[in-house]
């Protein structure tokens, strides 16, 4: 991908976001586009930021630290969106402004303790396994209110909302029922006010289905291939 191609892709994503938001009667500025930059070079990440991307999301801690050392994310916010192992928490807390992928109470507790030790509060989202898939991590929808109650005692975290990766489907509309369930879960749990939580982000929708996700109420989409082109899993360096 050239810088030019990436900038055309970013413009096209922003255009489609704006159209999806308007057709749902929403303000496009409500929707945060997170560029999911896994397996893309620091140079490609910088091209995306130059083209208007304000938030980058990474999946792997090591890859994020390497690119961060190359100043790939300068000028943008950085989020962590992948599965986070407890032994890597110390590398992520404080470096990123939002962790999307809290999938267990033990991980939430570890993030809170690390943040407290640094004297900061880490913003996080709770990952929901909305398709109830054995292959995916995340809380079940019925766990969310009890996690929010437990988090009242965790002074190092602030829960900012929910994230989901529904079953991958060829049909861009096929995940709409899952998105709708997520929106309802988000509303139900935003109405109760708990300490250490401030539910304002609903992170759902990827390259293939973000239009549907926005229509169903998403306000944070994670876009990889529509910005950076298809990932080449075959030729890992």
Ligand X SMILES: *Cc1c(COP(=O)(O)O)cnc(C)c1O
Q: Contact with ligand X (CB under 6 A): which of 110, 206, 213, 220?
A: 206
Please provide the DSSP assignment of 154-213 as one string: -TTEEEEEEEE-PPP-SSTTTTHHHHHHHHHHHHHHHHS--TTEEEEEEE---TTTHHHH
> What residues numbered 79-98 form the site for ligand X, per CB under 6 A?
81-82
State the nearest-atom distance from the C-beta of 203 to ligand X, in Å: 8
Spatial CA neighbour of 226 closest among 82, 77, 40? 40
Using an 8 Å Cβ cutoff, are 164 and 128 in contact?
yes
Shortest CB 39 distance to ligand X, Å:
9
Answer for which of 47, 207, 212, 218 binds ligand X (CB under 6 A) is 207
Per-residue x/- marks for ligand X, 159-198, CB under 6 A? ------x---------------------------------
Q: Which region among 23-31, 107-115, 192-200, 217-225 touches ligand X (by CB under 6 A)?
A: 217-225
DSSP structure string for 10-60: HHHHHHHHHHHHHHTT--GGG-EEEEE-TT--HHHHHHHHHTT--EEEES-
**Binding window for ligand X (CB under 6 A); candidates: 104-112, 117-125, 150-158, 216-224:** 216-224
Phi-psi region of 205 (alpha: psi -120 to 50; beta: other; left: phi over 0): left
Kindly identify the residues of this chain, within the stretch 21-50, that bind ligand X according to CB under 6 A: 36, 38
Is 213 among the residues that bind ligand X (CB under 6 A)?
A: no
With CB under 6 A, what is the number of residues at the site for ligand X?
14
Nearer to ligand X, 82 or 156 (CB): 82
**Torsion on CA atoms 44, 46, 47, 53, rounded to nearest 10:** 110
- The residues binding ligand X (CB under 6 A) are 36, 38, 59, 81-82, 165, 206-208, 222-226
């Amino acid at each position: 991908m050239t810088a030019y191609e990436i900038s055309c892709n970013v413009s096209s994503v922003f255009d489609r976001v704006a159209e999806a938001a308007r057709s749902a009667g929403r303000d496009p500025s409500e929707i945060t586009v997170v560029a999911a930059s896994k397996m893309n070079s620091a140079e490609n990440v910088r091209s995306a930021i130059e083209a208007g991307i304000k938030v980058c999301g990474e999946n792997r801690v090591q890859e994020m630290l390497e690119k961060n050392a190359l100043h790939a994310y300068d000028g943008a916010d950085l989020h962590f969106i992948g599965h986070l192992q407890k032994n890597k928490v110390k590398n992520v807390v404080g470096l990123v402004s939002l962790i999307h992928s809290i999938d267990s109470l033990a991980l939430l507790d570890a993030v809170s303790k690390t943040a407290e030790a640094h004297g900061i509060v880490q913003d996080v989202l709770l990952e929901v396994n909305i398709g109830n898939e054995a292959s995916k991590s995340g809380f079940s929808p019925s766990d969310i209110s009890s996690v929010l109650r437990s988090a009242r005692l965790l002074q190092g975290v602030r829960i900012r909302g929910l994230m989901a990766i529904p079953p991958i489907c060829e049909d861009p509309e096929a995940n709409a029922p899952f998105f709708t369930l997520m929106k309802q879960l988000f509303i139900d749990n935003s109405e109760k006010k708990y300490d250490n939580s401030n539910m304002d982000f609903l992170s759902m929708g990827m390259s293939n289905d973000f239009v549907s996700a926005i229509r169903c109420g998403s306000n944070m989409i994670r876009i990889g291939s529509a910005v950076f082109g298809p990932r080449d899993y075959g030729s890992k360096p």
